[in-house]
Amino acid sequence: MKKITAKKVEMTQIFSETGEVFPVTLVVLDTKGKTLDTDSQGLALEEGEMVTISGTSKGKGFQGVVKRHGFKGGRRSHGQKHSEREAGSIGGGGRAGGRVVKGMRMAGRMGGERVTVKNLKVVKIISESGEIYISGAIPGRRGSKIEIKLT
């Protein structure tokens, strides 16, 4: 499958003729001196087409189970002094046999993974400067490289 490599610049908004506001992400072709006309790599990319974006998500460092997996946490009363955001029991003598089961959700590094977002619409293209405006949010921080494919 053909793809274009680009660089995420920023999120912004575009107004339509009727006054509607569309949140968009601005990406720029990352090849120097090339435009979408000369370096589309067989994609024929046009406004209104649906694309699939792949990139590396923002790294968030070491996070606890409440933020990383959405755990509720412990009760705030009845002798719970410092265990409000703890994971709770992780093993036991039941089915696990007193060990920690593989795949147990625990605290750890979050983010920095490859993420793919499908069915995003190309809102606007400025081929001279290599700018592409894509509806919605795409993975990664500013300046990160992404891949654009047709869906």
Span 85-126, pLDDT tens digits:
888 888 777 777 788 888 999 999 999 999 999 999 999 999
* pLDDT of 136 over the 80 cut: yes
> What pTM was estimated for this model as a whole?
0.78
Percentage of residues in the chain having pLDDT higher than 70: 91
Q: What is the helix (H) or strand (E) element at residue 145, kind and residue range? A: strand 145-150
Write down the residue that tokens 């795409």 correspond to. Answer: 138
Going by C-alpha positions, the residue among 60, 82, 87, 84 that lies closest to residue 71 is 87
99-132 per-residue burial string, b: 16 or more CB within 10 A, e: under 16:
eeeeeeeebeebeeeebebeebebbebeeeebbb
pLDDT of residue 41: 56
Tell me the mean pLDDT in the region 35-59.
80
Supply angle C-alpha 113, 40, 16, rounded to 5: 80
Where are the chain's structural domains?
Answer: 4-59+113-150, 64-110
**3-state DSSP assignment of residue 101:** coil
Evaluate whether 51 touches 148 at the Cβ level (below 8 Å).
Answer: yes
Rounded-to-integer distance, Cα 112 and Cα 143, Å: 14
Instruction: Find out whether 40 and 145 touch, Cβ atoms under 8 Å.
Output: no
CATH 2.40.30.10 fits 4-59+113-150, yes or no: yes
